[in-house]
Amino acid sequence: MALLTQQSPLARVPALRILVPQMLGIVMATMTQCSIIVPAAIMVVGIFLYIALKYAVPHTPVWSLRVRWMWILPLSLMCMALGWINSIASRPPTIDTQVVNGTIAQVRIDDIEFKDRSMSIYGTLTSARRDSMQLLDREHKVLLTTRDCDYSMQPGDVVMLRCKLGEITNMGNPDGFDYVQFMQDRGIRYRQHVALDSIMVAGQAPTLLTRCNKLRREIEREVFGSRLSAEAQDFVVATILGNGKFISRETRNTFAAAGVSHILALSGMHVGIITLLIWFVLLPLDYLHMRRLRLGLTIVILAGYAIFTGLSASVVRATVMSVIVLVGMITHRKSISLNALAIAGIILLLYSPAMLFNPGFQLSFITVASLLIFYDDRARNSNSNKVVNYLSGIVVTSIVAMLSTVILSAWYFNTVSLISFVTNVLILPLFPFIMAMNAIFVMLCSVGIEIPWLTAMVDAAYTCIASVTRFMGDAVPGHISNLYVTGTEVASYYIALVMVLIWWKLKHIKWLMGAGIVVAAMIVHNGYVAMTTPTQGFYIVNNYSQAQIFSFNAGKGKLWTPYSETDGTADVELFRQRNSKFLAHYHISNIEVETGKMRDVINGKRIAIVGNGRWKRMQVPKERIKADIVVITKRFHGKMEKLSQIYDAKLYVISGEVYEDRVYSLERQCQSLGLPYHTIRTQGAYVAI
């Protein structure tokens, strides 16, 4: 019964009684993939228990005190069922592709990403007709990709095409990124690769989001047309307009090494600063005794800003938390607390249950929760000197944030910065002023005005930030990369952290000893994983741009990229970025690159690459060439029959770069000739470890 007294954590943070079972329901929905009947039954059980407690228990003070702790059970069951049902309902709906494919479909463009020689269209499938009959009962979000670009297309355009949808699958590379879950979090289950000349723009059907997207692109063009340096332009667009796609990989790596990569993405800190800027601009309303109007307008403008920037998960998360704080100010309630944080979590998970598995959601909520827990202690021990108190607050905040998220950074990004608190002390005090300058610069650019001295100040501010991060990232040895942790280690770390927190509050040594035991078990587990990890192997990468083969032995790797026109340095950097977890898992720190040539034998496997045309001039040998694997690239345009006469192969691997229509033809040829084959595009990378 003491669990629900006024002194218990659940009594001080009542929203946790809803949030924790809601999160458990979302996890159960992800793990089980069952129908909605199961959570509905749990909901019925919870309602039944609630009714039983309400009407079967005598309404006396003694009995009310006795059964008070029991009320948590029906509440938990109902909240878990709610999270479970909401998670199932929010999944992208399925489409009967056998019925829809081949029809003329209509897609509304929601967003477009232009690349060097291709285009990704994020759209909404609004109709698919056959014989004037509508085959869809609802709209579906889809991804369309093309080989070429049409820069005249804009968000809000409606295009017509022949439907040939396929369900999105993972690349299948070892320790690879879960692309399926990432796209389903965006509401997209299906994709289609389509020739650009087969898409016809049929009109426009703009929505509020597409109008905002179009306006945001126009403002981006104005910023890119300004006199700012190229890197400063990218920084301004990322921090104010929320589009960080133009930030170079080198810049990202530099900021990550210094531990301040969070300032490159529009997130909680940026939204908080923008909230303060809006609040300051509306200050005159206070003198007119319109404080509630000031608060209300701040909320409305902040919500409009979230919509304008595209309602990304991080912005929605920060906006909800800011609105809760502002609503607390309107109602004269203290909202900056763990309870307000839990309420924000409940709202966000109702809005998007998949957000629970978003790294940004986890990192931000754990960080804020940790800071709120330590806030009272820091406030009690604060210095009377405001400057000292401010700077020490930044240091303590950075250290607490680093300790609370260091294991998640290693889990998701395989890297940890140990000097982030120093870099934050150097940058964060001035960052609100930099954000204010960037915001004013963007607003002036949106109406075609550019003030030279403001441009110079924005440029100088970015140069200062870039110089500090470059110095801290290069000169100070505080960046650890190539880290690999397991889910067990993540759970163990947070169990130990909670035990340390309880010891900090209660001063009972048993909790500190328990944390030490958990840490020791985590170290032993890490040693076991390291000892049982193979030291050599190779795999043929699932890469849609080039056929790549990667081999490794004793911590050293070799990446072979055929027909590369450069020295391969860019290929290695991109490979490191896309395979960081794999490299950390197998402790690979050094990678050499080979382009245009390769050895016949890799880790005991004889490999042949076809596609450059030389095989066409080869005469059929008297005795076929023995090979373990024959890799077929997109430059191969011949017949499998000719290859089978040249090579005596144990396996033919159709690389991921081969276009889909060509893949089907090669598969049919292999099947008719009885040749063993592996299709990387559909089956994933070929791995031999």
If asked whether residues 521 and 450 sit together in one domain, one would say no
Beta carbons of 164 and 532 less than 8 angstroms apart: no
| Backbone phi, psi, residue 687, to 5° | -115, 135
If asked whether residues 588 and 656 sit together in one domain, one would say yes
Nearest to 264 by CA among 249, 283, 285: 249
Beta carbons of 168 and 186 less than 8 angstroms apart: no
The span from the CA of 199 to the CA of 139, in Å, is: 19
If asked whether residues 103 and 68 sit together in one domain, one would say no
Beta partners for 112?
Answer: 121
The span from the CA of 497 to the CA of 516, in Å, is: 10
Pairing outcome for strands 188-193 and 140-146: parallel
Beta carbons of 196 and 146 less than 8 angstroms apart: yes
pLDDT band at 679 (very low <50, low <70, confident <90, very high): very high
If asked whether residues 321 and 447 sit together in one domain, one would say yes
Final residue belonging to a domain, choices 24, 56, 89 = 89
If asked whether residues 63 and 139 sit together in one domain, one would say no
pLDDT of 641 higher than 60:
yes
pLDDT band at 79 (very low <50, low <70, confident <90, very high): very high
What 8-state DSSP symbol labels residue 168? -
pLDDT of 596 higher than 70:
no
- What pLDDT sits at residue 6? 44
What pLDDT, in 10s, does the model give residues 39-74?
999 999 999 988 888 777 777 776 666 766 777 888
pLDDT of 142 higher than 90:
yes
The mean pLDDT value for 501-530 works out to: 86
pLDDT of 24 higher than 90:
yes
Beta partners for 464?
Answer: none
If asked whether residues 578 and 507 sit together in one domain, one would say no
Per-residue buried b or exposed e for 650-685, using 16+ beta carbons within 10 Å of the residue's own CB: eebbbbbbbeeeebeebeebbeeeebebbbbbeebb
Give every CB contact of residue 237 below 8 A, 6+ residues apart in sequence.
220, 223, 224, 243, 244, 246
If asked whether residues 506 and 558 sit together in one domain, one would say no
The span from the CA of 100 to the CA of 117, in Å, is: 29
Final residue belonging to a domain, choices 460, 480, 500 = 480
The mean pLDDT value for 313-336 works out to: 73
Enter the tokens of residue 198: 């087969």
The mean pLDDT value for 305-323 works out to: 82
If asked whether residues 247 and 312 sit together in one domain, one would say yes
Tell me the three-class secondary structure of 459-504, residue by residue: HHHHHHHHHHHHHHHHHCCCEEECCCCCHHHHHHHHHHHHHHHHHH
Tokens 């289950």 correspond to 189
pLDDT of 170 higher than 80:
yes
99-103, Cβ contacts within 8 angstroms, sequence gap of 24 or more: 99/135, 100/128, 100/135, 100/136, 100/163, 100/165, 101/163, 101/164, 101/165, 102/130, 102/162, 102/163, 102/164, 103/128, 103/129, 103/130, 103/135, 103/162, 103/163
The span from the CA of 102 to the CA of 98, in Å, is: 8
In a domain, 394, yes or no: no
20 burial (CB, 10 Å; 0-12 / 13-18 / 19+) is middle
If asked whether residues 151 and 241 sit together in one domain, one would say no
If asked whether residues 102 and 34 sit together in one domain, one would say no
Residue ranges making up the domain that contains 599: 536-688
Instruction: Specify the range with the lowest mean pLDDT, choosing from 351-360, 365-374, 559-568.
Output: 559-568
pLDDT band at 5 (very low <50, low <70, confident <90, very high): very low
- The helix or strand, by DSSP H or E, that contains position 202, with its residue range, turns out to be strand 200-204
What is the number of structural domains in the chain?
5
The CA distances from residue 284 to 105, 395, 517, in Å, are 53, 34, 58
In a domain, 591, yes or no: yes
In a domain, 132, yes or no: yes
The span from the CA of 321 to the CA of 528, in Å, is: 41
**CA 350 remoteness from chain centre:** 19
The span from the CA of 373 to the CA of 439, in Å, is: 32
In a domain, 402, yes or no: no
If asked whether residues 322 and 446 sit together in one domain, one would say yes
What 8-state DSSP symbol labels residue 405? H
